[in-house]
């Protein structure tokens, strides 16, 4: 039976495990988390077939290793697993930044182990294994960022994983990925956190909180995300995020000037343009965005066959 190992059993790792087990296909899903209790809960909730507290044993003989930890922990994980992953193993991740991760993979993972980066464009306001669900990836976009030397079979295996959990693969350059994510994922989190601080730091917060309703709740829900994860995102994506923060601050400055001056025309122009841009985005997204490779896989049985006989199978024969 082919073995898939998931390292990190939070929202994303746990949801991947649930989705893979629900898909079936004759492979074993092994989970490892630095918190032993989380591993036990993941097993109880059906996210994994079994928990393995010992990391070397968790990755031993695995055909696919999914690193679903916060971004800053991935370098350490690569160092920890490098002596134990077998030739032919494919390693992927789920981090929201890619440039640093691909550099770590190149420097640390041994020859014969392929790396294909991943980033699922899904999530929830709250994190943790208790929030995991098999349907989290259904219909969502899943960025696929292969290392330059990744074999086609390894890339196809990760695309098969993406399709098996119900997502749509989208190939993207790592530098573009990190810049885009800074604009549409990392900056919104920081904006939500700043907005919460603006209100909560007011001496009148106790009274403000009583009248805060759906607008404040929906706008700031990202601030309830896992702080360690977002801290690591900021640390591993500093340059793109700083750029977008500068652009955002400039835009806020223009709005402040218009509000302070009571400039009705400027306000209508800025707010109207923002509304139009968002409405166009909401109604014009292409639900079929995918690479041609995504058409070559898509079932758990095909994923199992690739786990057994693709890149990994060829490498095993060389030993």
Is the pLDDT reported for residue 173 higher than 70? yes
33-42, 162-171, 228-237, 287-296: which range is least confident on average?
Answer: 287-296
Interatomic CA distance for residues 11 and 221, integer angstroms: 16
Is the pLDDT reported for residue 307 higher than 90? no
pTM: 0.85
Q: Are 104 and 168 contained in the same domain? A: yes
Interatomic CA distance for residues 69 and 34, integer angstroms: 10
Between the alpha carbon of residue 177 and those of residues 131, 170, 267, 289, the distances in Å are 26, 11, 32, 16
Rounded to the nearest 10 degrees, the angle between the axes of helix 311-318 and helix 152-164 is 140
The pLDDT, as a whole number, for residue 311 is 61
Between the alpha carbon of residue 180 and those of residues 98, 184, 295, the distances in Å are 11, 6, 25
Q: What is the pLDDT of residues 62-110, one digit of tens each?
A: 999 999 998 889 999 999 999 999 999 999 999 999 999 999 999 999 9
Is the pLDDT reported for residue 176 higher than 90? yes
Interatomic CA distance for residues 129 and 271, integer angstroms: 39
Q: Are 14 and 111 contained in the same domain? A: yes
Q: Are 127 and 155 contained in the same domain? A: yes
- Please give the residue range of the domain that contains residue 207: 176-284
69-73, 84-88, 122-126, 252-256: which range is least confident on average?
Answer: 122-126
Q: How confident is the model at residue 127 (pLDDT cuts 50, 70, 90)?
A: confident
Q: Are 292 and 163 contained in the same domain? A: yes
DSSP-assigned beta bridge partners for residue 114: 90
- CATH number for the domain spanning 89: value is 3.40.50.720
Q: Are 161 and 308 contained in the same domain? A: yes
Q: Are 149 and 263 contained in the same domain? A: no
Q: Tokens for 241, please give them.
A: 């995020």
Q: Are 101 and 135 contained in the same domain? A: yes
Q: Are 272 and 295 contained in the same domain? A: no
């Amino acid at each position: 039976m082919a073995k898939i190992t998931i390292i990190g059993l939070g929202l994303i790792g746990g949801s991947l495990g649930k989705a893979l087990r629900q898909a079936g296909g004759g492979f074993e899903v092994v989970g490892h988390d630095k918190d032993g209790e989380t591993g036990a809960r993941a097993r109880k909730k059906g996210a994994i077939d079994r928990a393995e507290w010992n990391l070397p044993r968790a990755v031993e003989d695995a055909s696919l290793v999914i690193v679903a930890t916060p971004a800053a922990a991935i370098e350490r994980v690569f160092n920890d697993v490098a002596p134990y992953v077998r030739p032919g193993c494919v390693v992927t991740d789920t981090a929201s930044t890619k440039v640093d991760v691909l550099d770590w993979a190149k420097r640390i993972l041994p020859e014969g182990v392929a790396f294909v980066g991943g980033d699922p464009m899904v999530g929830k306001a709250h994190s943790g294994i208790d929030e995991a669900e098999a349907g989290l990836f259904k219909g969502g976009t899943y960025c696929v960022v292969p290392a330059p030397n990744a074999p086609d079979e390894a890339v196809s295996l990760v695309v098969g994983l993406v399709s098996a959990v119900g997502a749509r693969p989208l190939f993207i350059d790592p530098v573009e990925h990190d810049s885009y994510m800074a604009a549409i994922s990392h900056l919104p989190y920081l904006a939500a956190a700043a907005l919460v601080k603006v209100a909560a730091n007011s001496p009148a917060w106790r009274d403000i909180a009583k009248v805060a309703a759906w607008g404040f709740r929906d706008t700031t829900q990202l601030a309830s995300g896992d702080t360690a994860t977002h801290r690591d995102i900021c640390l591993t994506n500093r340059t793109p995020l700083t750029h977008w923060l500068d652009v955002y601050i400039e835009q806020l400055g223009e709005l402040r000037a218009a509000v302070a001056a009571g400039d009705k025309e400027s306000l209508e122009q800025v707010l109207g343009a923002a509304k139009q841009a968002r409405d166009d985005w909401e109604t014009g997204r292409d639900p079929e965005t995918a690479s041609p490779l995504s058409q070559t896989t898509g079932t758990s049985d095909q994923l199992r066959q690739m786990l057994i006989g693709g890149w990994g199978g060829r490498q095993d024969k060389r030993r």
